[in-house]
Amino acid sequence: MKSGQLFWGFFLLALGALFLLTKYDVLQSSFDFVYNVWPLIFVFWGALVIFKNTLVRPVISALFGIFLALLLFGLIENALNSFDFSEHDGKYTEYYNEEYDKSVEYANLEINSGAGSFLIKGTTDKLAEGRSKGSFAEYDFETWKDENQATVRFDLHKRNFNFFRGRLKNHLEVSLNPNPVWDIHFNGGASKSNFNLTEFKTRRVSIHTGASSAVIKLGDKYDSTDVDIEMGVASLTLEIPSNSGCSIDGDMALVSRDFTGFTKRESGHYETENFNNTAKKIFIRIDGGVSSIKVVRY
């Protein structure tokens, strides 16, 4: 067997095994050691060059594949576990707000960030409020209004993070005014997010991330909600009200799915039993790689 085949075979096997073992709590370990052993990449690389065209090369390729899988998984695991949602973990360092104009009927919230932890929760009499803390939590805050529509944008000022430096600290918490109809767009990197949208009239929710862990709770204050999810290696939990009809569509190859209360209508398409009999509907589109997706009706 060729060395390249052994490398990719053992890489994929090891990566899949690590995700499964940690998912079912068979493997419980700290992966902080990966910050210290990553230079072994060059050792393996050099060994492959030295032992080219020898019987040892296939063995080195297999071990290299396992090591890179462990390194990648460890970096993802450490990144996700580095973030803390605790409101009492340090003081907020930056504050943002925009006054509410009663003529605003529709509003857009845009969050463009890198690695970090993110919360949307609670209402405010302002149009929007934000609080951030951490060594990488400086945001450019912009707002503008066009007739009856307003836009609120958070852009991370520094987006370049070095995973080999260890703990990442970038926490942003946002509160919104419950009166406008909201479109919410979140673009992030390795992130941990919790969006409680039950108190808002939500028309669209768009989530685009890399390696991430996300919990999104939707409400029923608007008749039709479109949800667009695009994630990499991720864990996603969607909570939806049981009185709303819901459909799920997407390319979900290699995705662990828990769609309790849904019926599979065709390949890649699921619906709740009350989908055609309710006035309020939620349309979910999911595109993901190796992910775990759970939809909970409450």
Q: What is the pLDDT of residues 243-271, one digit of tens each?
A: 999 999 987 766 778 899 999 998 889 99
Of the two residues 227 and 163, the one the predictor is more confident about is 227
What confidence score (pLDDT) does residue 15 get? 87
Quote the radius of gyration of the chain (alpha carbons, Å): 22
pTM above 0.75, yes or no: no
227-243 as b/e: b if 16+ CB within 10 A: bbbbbbbbbbbbbbbee
Residue 4: which H helix or E strand, with range?
helix 3-23
Residues 113, 191: contact at Cβ < 8 Å? yes
Residues 141, 113: contact at Cβ < 8 Å? no
Q: Which two tokens stand for residue 41?
A: 């990449």
Mean pLDDT, the chain, integer: 85
Residue 225 has pLDDT above 90, yes or no: yes
Residue 242 has pLDDT above 70, yes or no: yes
What confidence score (pLDDT) does residue 80 get? 63
Residue 184 to residue 269: CA distance in whole angstroms: 24
97-131 as b/e: b if 16+ CB within 10 A: bbebeeebebbbbbbbbbbbbbbbbeebebbbbbb
Q: How confident is the model at residue 170 (pLDDT cuts 50, 70, 90)?
A: confident
- The share of the chain scoring above pLDDT 90, in percent, equals 48
Distances (CA, A) of 294 to 122, 148, 210: 24, 36, 18
Q: How confident is the model at residue 87 (pLDDT cuts 50, 70, 90)?
A: very low
Tell me how crowded residue 276 is: count the other CB atoms within 10 A of its CB.
Answer: 9
Residue 81 has pLDDT above 90, yes or no: no
What confidence score (pLDDT) does residue 141 get? 95
